[in-house]
Structure 1
Amino acid sequence: MGDTTVPDFFQHFPMQAVLSRELDALLADGTADLDVLFLWGRDCPNCDIAKRALLAQPHKLERSGLRWLHCNVYDDETMATRFGLHGIPTFFVFRRGKRLGRITSWPGIDAFAAVLDAQLHSPA
């Protein structure tokens, strides 16, 4: 069995891979209005549900100023412990290095998009 039932996800929904040791500098670089960090793991059925949903309707999450980052927490356990994860998938939203919130599990594409819009349009 492969690592995922969605093996080409990152080719079709581009996200920048990031390690825990690189995250702070990347979040502080100021190139994005918002950063979304997707923490996932191989052989994670709930992660694959989120990936399939993202691939099915990527247009619902296209936003100017939004940068997508990802990390397989099974390959970078420091990332998992850094955020005190109790389950995956988990998404974190950041503005210029400041963590704004966490989305756990997969709430559905419309709820996810609403959270992103609220954060993008909230005062800095």
Structure 2
Amino acid sequence: MSDSAVPDFFDRFAMRAVTSAQLDAVLDEDAPPLTILFLWGRDCPNCDIAKRALLARPDRFHWPAVRWLHDNVYDDEAMAHRFGLHGIPVFFVFRGARKIGRITSWPGPEAFVEAIDKQIAELQT
């Protein structure tokens, strides 16, 4: 379910919905080397800021080496507990099934892209 402030976000920015119960199996799938898991909540103002930034320049946030997943942690409290969340939005970066990073809150488009570009560059070394 999307929130009221950015109701068409997931129609316009392709992310696969996943639940806590599904996450391990999804991370084990054959997929691009990196996965970004976007944990958000309905009617979360800070989540809306991130969504609007992603929609403003969606091309900046699509990398061939990355797949996007998302979960509304208000509807899936198990996911929030799994990662010990104290606030949203939060973005977890995985290489395969291994968590390699966490971006807490929305750092802005430049910092976000820089962090993901760094992880992609490390894949090539």
Q: Same fold (TM over 0.5)?
A: yes
Alignment match, 2:93: 93
Runs of 4+ in 1 over 4 A off after TM superposition: none
Give the root-mean-square deviation of aligned CA atoms.
1.3
Is it true that 1:24 corresponds to 2:2 in the alignment?
Answer: no
Q: Deviations over 1:50-76 (max 9, x none)?
A: 000000011111211210000000110
Matched, 1:119 2:96: no
Matches within 5 A, 1:59-74: 59-74=59-74
Map of 1:34 onto structure 2: 34
Q: CA deviation at 1:32?
A: 1.5
- For the residues of structure 2 that align with 1:62 and 1:38, how far apart are their CA atoms? 14
Distance in 1 (alpha carbons) for counterparts of 2:5 and 2:43: 8
Residue 122 of structure 1 deviates from its aligned partner by 0.7
Report if aligned partners of 1:4, 1:44 keep a CA contact under 8 Å in 2: no
What SS does the aligned partner of 1:21 have? helix
Q: TM-score, normalised by structure 2?
A: 0.94
Number of residues of Structure 1 aligned to a counterpart in Structure 2: 123
Superimposed CA distance per residue, residues 15-52 of structure 1 (whole angstroms, 9 cap, x where no aligned partner): 00000011011111131110000000011000000000
**1:113 & 1:3 partners in 2: Cα distance?**
24
TM-score (norm: length of structure 1)? 0.95
Partner of 1:107: 107
Q: Is the 8 A contact 1:9 1:55 kept in 2?
A: yes
Q: CA deviation at 1:110?
A: 0.9
The one-letter code matched in structure 2 to 1:84 is G
**Structure 2 residues without counterparts, runs of 5 or longer:** none
